Structure 1
Amino acid sequence: MQPVLTKFKSWLEKKANTIPPQSALGKAVNYSLNQWEYLVHYLDLPELTPDNNAAERAIRPFVLGRKNWLFSGSPAGAESSSAMYSLIETAKANGLDPHSYLLNLFEKAPLAESEKAWAGR
């Protein structure tokens, strides 16, 4: 990634000398150059990425769900949808297959005699 950023910085520096600084592109170029040390900081930490794609992917289902909940038919339907959605997303967040998780849940939960009996299963 370092060679790409080196070329990009060189391009920015050339553009900074040829573009009016008050134009939209000029402002973007100057902003990038002024923030350069923060932009390349992620290169020092291999667990970081230069984007927030992982965060965007994580919240995308909630954005879609919010739109879908508009068509739940009633407040009770919306509550049911959100409960199911929470179960599915919790399974995903814990590395479980949502389909298998729900099958197991719906087979065993009715057999529980209390919340305490269900805990830890």
Structure 2
Amino acid sequence: MRNTKSPIAETAVRQIAALYAVEATVRGAPPEIRLATRRQQSAPIIEALKPWFEKQLSMISSGSQLAVDIRYALSHWDGLTSFLDDGRLELDTNPVENAIRPVALTRKNALFAGHEVGAENWALLASIVATCKLNDVDPVAYIDETLTAIINGHPKSRIEELMPWQFRKISSQIL
């Protein structure tokens, strides 16, 4: 929501800043702790914010940018508040966007690989490495163990078991 220097926008920004302040206290904590803290501290802010938005919407010009912003927030309310139901979720998408930015840069760099097949392979490898990093998996160990499993006859029908988020299970089965 843009701060239009209106009292309504300033109040909304203060409430949203309060949500980010709560998030700062639980950043890096286990999901259970994040969820408990959010339910105790963030839920009351959210519960008060929705009816407040609805009331403000009825008092401002329906064509104003502030009304557009409030309607957007209200129409996406379930998604915007889903962090209150799952401690693994972030308040916003910034961590995900920061995590995938290198993948997008690598994809652009792959355009200069010299050959279409080389660029496709580069992009594929970059995607595997990025997925491993997102799942706290060592990419070299993952690729090594996955190729070993394939060479040893891992069935195609169970390919899901070879995904990076399943790596710890693969490691324990191979070792």
TM-score, with normalisation over the residues of structure 1?
Answer: 0.54
Residue 96 of structure 1 is aligned with which of 131, 137, 158? 137
1:47-89 deviation line (CA, Å, top 9, x unaligned) = 4554345654564444223212112122243134134324423
SS of 1:78 mapped into structure 2: helix
Percent identity, please. 34
2:82 matches 1:46: no
SS of the counterpart of 2:56?
A: helix
Amino acid at match of 1:101: A
After superposition, the CA RMSD in angstroms is 3.9
Higher RCO, Cα 8 Å, sep 6+: 2
* Largest Rg, 1 or 2: 1
User: Which of residues 82, 86, 111 in structure 2 aligns to 1:70?
Assistant: 111
Counterpart CA distance in 2 for 1:93 and 1:35 is: 26
Query: What TM-score results when the alignment is normalised by the length of structure 2?
Result: 0.42
- Secondary structure of 2:46 counterpart: helix
Give the unaligned 5+ runs of structure 2: 1-41, 155-172
Aligned length: 110
Q: Which runs of 5+ in 1 are unaligned?
A: none
- The residue number in structure 2 matching 1:20 is 61
CA distance in 2, matches of 1:72, 1:26: 48
